[in-house]
Amino acid sequence: MKPSRSLLLLLLLLTLFTSPSLSRPAPPSLLRLPIDRPRSSARRDCESWRFTVETNDAGPWKQVPGECEAYVEAYLAGERYAADSRAVAEASLAFASGESGRAGTVGGSDAWVFDVDETLLSNLPFYAENGYGAEIFNETSFNEWVDVARAPALQSSLWLYQELQNLGITIILLTGRSEFQRNATEQNMLFAGYRSWERLILRQDSDMGKSAVVYKSERRAELVLEGYRILGNSGDQWSDLLGFAVAKRSFKLPNPMYYIA
Ligand SMILES: *[C@@H]1O[C@H](CO)[C@@H](O)[C@H](O)[C@H]1NC(C)=O
Ligand SMILES: *[C@@H]1O[C@H](CO)[C@@H](O)[C@H](O)[C@H]1NC(C)=O
């Protein structure tokens, strides 16, 4: 019996679709096994490094890996850093506005705690001269930069700061800078456009040697004892936000340049 025309056609089609030159490549798997990880792309690795840093998955780290210096520079100097910071500020204000609406009014005892460096002020001009975190931190030269008091505002943080003030929220500044830097810090805050904070808390002699997370938690606990309700807390370091007497909501700003425990 002769094979029918349709059977011949089917066989022809099968040959066409199974021939390697004509079959389409399989779509890339979304879930790659470790062995499939692309190793050629240094950029992709640095993005993942930044993810682990921002989420605190990386834990303590000393400096930006050398191969990621250019990536970190591009991130900070390009649009990405500003866009990420803006998104954090918008989320912060959405929360604060919601609280304000829910409670009817937000009173003067409702406080928002801001860190200073890489939160309200940007030290990018300093870090640009120092490898964007790829060089070991030089405290002497950073303190010289602090004394100049010309760090610009992180624009989205200045916007958030003013919007929170419009809601009637009390602004508290809690920084790892030391008491001897009070004047320079105040000068710099004014230079950058910040006004009317309630208090600027700096490290005292008795705080030397304490980790940032302990020092900042202790100061927040004092605020709570005074009767403040800490609505929100903004910081570029997890040590600004974790510990005890934490805010109702904490907001982590991006910072792939350095880690403070
Ligand atoms: C740190 O900076 C100071 C002042 O700029 C400089 O004199 C000193 O050599 C630097 N130290 C190191 C280890 O680079
Ligand atoms: C603070 O800085 C201002 C301006 O730089 C200066 O005039 C003033 O003397 C400083 N005050 C202290 C206590 O250092």
- Tell me: pLDDT of 20 over 50: no
pTM of the model: 0.83
- Tell me: pLDDT of 115 over 90: yes
- Tell me: pLDDT of 256 over 80: yes
From residue 62, alpha-carbon distances to 53, 65, 77, 133 in Å are: 11, 9, 21, 9
Please list, in sequence order, all residues whose beta carbon lies within 8 angstroms of the beta carbon of residue 177, skipping any fewer than 6 positions away: 116, 117, 146, 185, 202, 203
Q: Which of 127, 139, 140 to mutate to test the pocket of ligand 1 (most atoms within 8 A of CB)?
A: 140
Structure tokens at 170: 């009390």
On average, the pLDDT of the chain sits at: 88
Whose Cα sits closest to atom 12 in ligand 1? 138
Element (DSSP H or E) covering residue 166: helix 155-166
CA of 184 from ligand 2 middle (Å) equals 8
The predicted pLDDT at position 102 comes to 73
CA dihedral 224, 228, 234, 235 (to 10 degrees): -30
More confident residue, 103 or 219: 219
More confident residue, 1 or 96: 96
- Tell me: pLDDT of 38 over 70: no
Strand partners, 57: none
* Ligand 2, atom nearest to 149 Cα: 5
40-62 per-position pLDDT tens digit = 554 569 999 999 999 999 999 99
Helix, coil or strand: residue 44: helix
142-182 per-position pLDDT tens digit = 999 999 999 999 999 999 999 999 999 999 999 999 999 99
The predicted pLDDT at position 6 comes to 61
197-255 per-position pLDDT tens digit = 999 999 999 999 999 999 999 999 999 999 999 999 999 999 999 999 999 999 999 99
One-letter amino acid identity for 189?
Answer: M
Ligand 1 — pocket residues by CB below 6 A?
138, 140-141, 144
Buried b (16+ CB within 10 A) or exposed e, 135-158: eeeeeeeeeebbeebebebbebbb
Q: pLDDT class for 126, splitting at 50, 70, 90?
A: very high
Residue 96's nearest CA partner among 246, 196, 231 is 231
Q: Which residue has the tokens 């927040």?
A: 220
Distance CA(179)–CA(204), nearest Å, equals: 6
The predicted pLDDT at position 107 comes to 74
The predicted pLDDT at position 22 comes to 45
